[in-house]
Amino acid sequence: MNEMLTLQRQCPRRAEHCIVERQQHAADAPVYILKDAVGSRYMKLSDEGLFVWQMMDGERTIGDLCRSYFARFQRATPVEVLRALARLHEAGFLLLQDVDDNRRPRPTTVTRATKPCRLLSLCTRYWSVPAVDRKVTTLYCCLRALYTPLAQAALLVVVCAGAGAVGWHIAASPFWTTNALQRSLPVWLASLALHVVVHEAAHAATCKHFGRQVNRAGIGWYFFAPVAFVDTSDIWAAARLPRVLVSAAGPYSNLVLGSMAALAALLVAPNGWQDPLWSFSFMGYVLALVNINPLLELDGYYIVMDMLEVPNLRARALAYLGALLRGRAAEEPQLRRVFMLFGAASLAYGIAMGVGVLYAYRAYIGDIAGHYLPHQYAQAIGWGLAGTMSLMILNRLIEGLWPGQRR
């Protein structure tokens, strides 16, 4: 009870140097982009979130915000206000301060809540280089000619012809029937590095093509898989088509490179160069297919989310599916079919991924450990690490189905 009273007495205040921009042509309910002009942070706000943001003046307590929220939207529960405040505080957009009996604010230190699953933070880690916008501008100036209609039509012809060449090559001599893959590990690694660099550069240049900033770029890992990224969050406030095109630019660039390599291997490559070019082409197509998968939170997911104009599609779909399983799915009936289909597909894919990681990583880790340890210890390590990773994947699904149920 004392903790609740203390919480109600705190006065949230907006962080400085923040601006709000309405997303262009947003369907359904309007969406607003909260932008920190100094720290280059972004957050999407609904109408309700914008109302909470505008009310945080450092004078009103959280109790005042809940009462104003009820008067404006006729929803009595404070959970929505508290959830919005928690998201804003976690992203660094608000400060909290106590108020004494004379309603004079006094600063207070707020610590972040500790999540029960600390291992999850070890599976996702990123390092970034800030202030890359000027370099991206220079890159775009060099590539500007590729964004003309004539150049794009030519690239589309190359992609179609390259896809036909890859299909013919696989039908004539499948990769898995030769030893080319086993002989070309350095080629695969070099191909992967080049495709990733071009993929991220395409995202950045396309974002700059639409007049938006690119604030950061970096590398990291996601569930122990290496990743690279560029921060194109500034495109959030643009219209739907530019957002979709920025997301699609990465996998499209892999298709273009892969198709060019396939055509070169088929038509002009001298002897000895065919296998490296086919390997490079195959890597581009694999990366494009992986990134375009809408059930992974990669480019394809954001394309679908922007096409449907439904923010946080995966989280909302899983939450709706969980509510449906509990017999409480009553809200947002206009999106019921979308949430049911996408939620069910995400759940099935997540379970399949968890099982696949369990067996694939168990064998992979067990084989590596088997070179240094007795068989039974190597197998125990393989099962233990693979099982931990699978449980973390399934834990995210459970938290998505029952959001807010676990503390």
* pTM reported for the whole predicted model: 0.76
Mean pLDDT of the chain: 79
Give the DSSP letter string of 37-80: TTTTEEEEE-HHHHHHHHH-BSSS-HHHHHHHHHHHH----SHH
268 within a domain of the structure (yes/no): yes
Based on the domain organization, do 184 and 280 belong to the same domain? yes
- The span from the first CA to the last CA of the chain, in angstroms, equals 18
pLDDT band at 75 (very low <50, low <70, confident <90, very high): low
Residue 42 has pLDDT above 50, yes or no: yes
Based on the domain organization, do 22 and 82 belong to the same domain? yes
pLDDT tens digits for range 332-386: 556 788 888 888 898 888 888 888 877 776 676 777 777 777 877 777 887 887 7
CA distances, 301 to each of 40, 304, 312 (Å) = 23, 5, 10
What distance in Å separates the CA atoms of residue 245 and residue 210, rounded to the nearest whole number?
A: 10
Based on the domain organization, do 299 and 205 belong to the same domain? yes
* Stretch 186-214: mean pLDDT: 91
192 within a domain of the structure (yes/no): yes
pLDDT (0 to 100) of residue 110? 41
pLDDT (0 to 100) of residue 407? 37
Based on the domain organization, do 58 and 141 belong to the same domain? no
Based on the domain organization, do 133 and 86 belong to the same domain? no
Based on the domain organization, do 124 and 267 belong to the same domain? yes
Q: Mean pLDDT lowest for which of 128-137, 190-199, 285-294?
A: 128-137
H helix or E strand, kind and range, residue 208: helix 185-209
> Residue 390 is encoded by which pair of tokens?
């699978």
More confident residue, 46 or 403: 46
What SS3 state is found at 16? coil
Residue 406 has pLDDT above 50, yes or no: no
94 within a domain of the structure (yes/no): yes
* Stretch 19-33: mean pLDDT: 71
Domain boundary, last residue among 58, 91, 113: 113
Based on the domain organization, do 127 and 92 belong to the same domain? no
322 within a domain of the structure (yes/no): yes
Total structural domains in the chain? 3
Domain boundary, last residue among 96, 113, 130: 113
* Stretch 167-191: mean pLDDT: 69
Based on the domain organization, do 304 and 317 belong to the same domain? no
335 within a domain of the structure (yes/no): yes
Q: What is the CATH number of the domain that holds 51?
A: 3.90.930
Which among 78-82, 135-139, 360-364, 385-389 has the top mean pLDDT? 135-139
pLDDT tens digits for range 142-172: 999 999 999 999 999 999 999 999 888 888 7
Based on the domain organization, do 320 and 296 belong to the same domain? no
pLDDT (0 to 100) of residue 370? 73
* Residue 78 Ramachandran class (φ > 0 left, ψ -120 to 50 alpha, else beta): alpha
Based on the domain organization, do 133 and 223 belong to the same domain? yes
pLDDT (0 to 100) of residue 204? 95
Percent of the chain with pLDDT over 90: 22
**Residue 326's domain spans which residues?**
313-401
Domain boundary, last residue among 113, 143, 170: 113
* Stretch 393-400: mean pLDDT: 75
> Residue 289 is encoded by which pair of tokens?
């297919």
What distance in Å separates the CA atoms of residue 379 and residue 147, rounded to the nearest whole number?
A: 52
Which among 133-137, 307-311, 332-336 has the top mean pLDDT? 133-137
pLDDT (0 to 100) of residue 73? 75
406 within a domain of the structure (yes/no): no
Q: Mean pLDDT lowest for which of 107-111, 155-159, 207-211, 325-329?
A: 107-111
241 within a domain of the structure (yes/no): yes
More confident residue, 65 or 204: 204
Based on the domain organization, do 255 and 290 belong to the same domain? yes
pLDDT (0 to 100) of residue 109? 43
407 within a domain of the structure (yes/no): no
* Stretch 14-19: mean pLDDT: 80
Based on the domain organization, do 94 and 232 belong to the same domain? no
